[in-house]
Amino acid sequence: MIQIAILGLGTVGTGVAKVVAENASQIERKLGESLQLKTVLVRHFKDGPYRQLMTDDFSRIEEDDAVRVVVETIGGVEAAYEYTKRALNAGKHVVTANKQLVAEKGCELLALAKKRGVNYLFEASVGGGIPVLHPLTQCMAANRIDEIYGILNGTSNYILTRMVRSGAFFTDALREAQTRGYAEADPTADVDGIDAGRKICILADLAFGRQVDPAEVPMEGIRHLSLRDVRIAQRAGYRIKLLGRAVRLPGSGRTAYVAPHLIPEEHPLANVEDVFNAVVVRGNATGEVMFYGRGAGEMPTASACVADVMECLQASPRREEIGWEPDVQGFEDPRALRSRYYFRIEGSLTDAASAFGQVEVLSEDGETAFLTETLSGREAEERAGSLQVLSRMRVLG
C-alpha cells in the first residue's frame, strides 16, 4: 500500500481525496498496489469524512517514512514554500496545483528535488485538468518551442462570454460569476491578469528553459474593458479574449505578457467560451497544437494532481526533463513584438489617419474605432501619444 498526505483541504485538496477514493480500483491497476490517503494537514479541525486523518503539525508528515508523496494544495507562497522544501528535503515527492509558488520559486524547488532524487510535479498549476505541461516537455520534446499563447483563466473567459452573449456590463458579469462560484469574493488575481500571468510564466519557463520572473511580465486584465469595445469587435468579426502569451525572440531572447486581444472569429480560440481554457503551442516541427478543456474546478484540477502522484510513483527515479535554468537574462519588453492594434479614440477618422496613416475603420459614432497596420508596441504608443485614447488592444494573427 502506498500512502500520501495532502496539505490543505480546500477545493482542490478535497477533490484529490475524492479522486483517490472514488477511482481506487483504477489507480491500483495502474500502480500495482493501492493508494491511500494517510494524513491531511489543516489549520482548523472540522467534522467530516477526513476528520480522523487531520493534523495541524507538519512534522507528523515530514517524519513519517510511510508517506511517499505530499500533495500541496494550500496556495500562496509562504507556508506552501516552507512545507514543500521540508518535504523534498525529507525525500518525499511533492505534487502541487499552486501556480504562484511554481512561478516564483519553481526553479529553486526543482533544483532541490533533483538534489534529493525526488520529483516536484505541477501539471495542475496550468490549465487545471488540461494536460499541457506533460505534452510540452515530452510529446513535443523534439521541437523548438517558438510561442505559447492561450486563454488561461476561466473566470475572465466566463465574464467575456457573458458580455458577448447577453450584452452584460463587466460588473454584472463579474457578479454573476461570483454567484456561480467561478469567481472569488476578491477577484483581483483573475480579472487583473495575475492568475494568467503566473501560468504563462510557468509555460515560458518550460518551453524556453530559462526562468521568467513574474515581476518582469506585464499583466493587464479585463477590469476596464468596455462593453462598447466588445460590441464593435463582434460586429467586425472579432472576439475579445484575455490571452497569456510567451514568445521566443532571436538569439536567446524571450518575452511574455498578458492582455486582452481581438481574435478573428474563425480562429479556434474565438470559440472557447465560459470557464473553458485553451493553450496553443507552436513548435518548429509540429506547427500549432491546441489543448482545450476545463481549466479549473475541484475534480478536473484534482485529476491532474492525482495523475502527477501516480507519475511520481511510476517514474524511475525522477522526471529529468522537468526544469529550467535560473538565469533571468534575455527577457525583453513585449512592446518589441509587432502586430496590428485596435484603438478607440475620442476623435475623428482624420485624427486617426494623421497619427497612423492608413487604418481600417470599425466604427464612427462620436468616437472612432479602427485597426492599424502592423507595427511594434513601442511605435503604437508613440503614434497614439497625440490622441485621446479610450481603449487599445493587440490583434492576434
The enclosing H or E element of 28 equals helix 24-31
Local mean pLDDT, 10-residue blocks, the chain (397 residues): 96 95 95 96 91 96 98 95 98 96 96 94 91 89 94 96 95 94 92 97 94 95 95 97 96 93 97 96 95 87 94 74 78 96 96 96 93 98 96 96
CB neighbour burial string for 105-120, b if at least 16 within 10 angstroms, e if fewer: bbbebbbbbbebebbb
CA distances (Å), origin 87, targets 80, 112, 118: 10, 10, 10
Give Dmax (Cα) for the chain.
74
Q: Which residues contact 9 (CB under 8 A, 6 or more apart)?
A: 17, 40, 42, 50, 54, 73
Nearest to 15 by CA among 152, 154, 124, 130: 124
What distance in Å separates the CA atoms of residue 394 and residue 340, rounded to the nearest whole number? 6
DSSP 46-89: --STTGGGEES-THHHHT-TTEEEEEE---SSHHHHHHHHHHHH
Tell me, yes or no, if 30 is annotated catalytic. no
What the block records as the C-alpha cell of 145 is 518551442
How many helices (H) and strands (E) the chain has is answered by: 14, 16
- Give the side-chain half-sphere CA count within 13 A for 227: 13
Beta-bridge mates of residue 368: 345, 364
Residue intervals of the chain classified under CATH 3.30.360.10 are 133-294
Residue intervals of the chain classified under CATH 3.30.70.1150 are 337-395
DSSP 194-212: HHHHHHHHHHHHHHHSB--
Contact 136/280 with Cβ under 8 angstroms?
no
Strand pairing of 67-72 and 93-96? parallel
For the domain made up of 2-129+299-314, the CATH class stated in words is alpha beta
- Classified by CATH at the fold level, domain 337-395 comes out as Alpha-Beta Plaits (3.30.70)
Nearest to 389 by CA among 350, 359, 347: 347
Phi and psi (nearest 5°) for 204? -65, -40
What the block records as the C-alpha cell of 97 is 496545483
What distance in Å separates the CA atoms of residue 383 and residue 9, rounded to the nearest whole number? 52
Nearest to 298 by CA among 79, 5, 97, 95: 97
Residue intervals of the chain classified under CATH 3.40.50.720 are 2-129+299-314
Nearest to 279 by CA among 122, 141, 94, 145: 145
Phi and psi (nearest 5°) for 378? -65, -45
Q: Which of 18, 30, 99, 199 is an active site residue? A: 199
CATH of domain 133-294: 3.30.360.10
Sequence-ordered alpha helix ranges (H) in 290-376: 298-314, 349-356
Amino acid, res. 256: A
What distance in Å separates the CA atoms of residue 42 and residue 56, rounded to the nearest whole number? 5
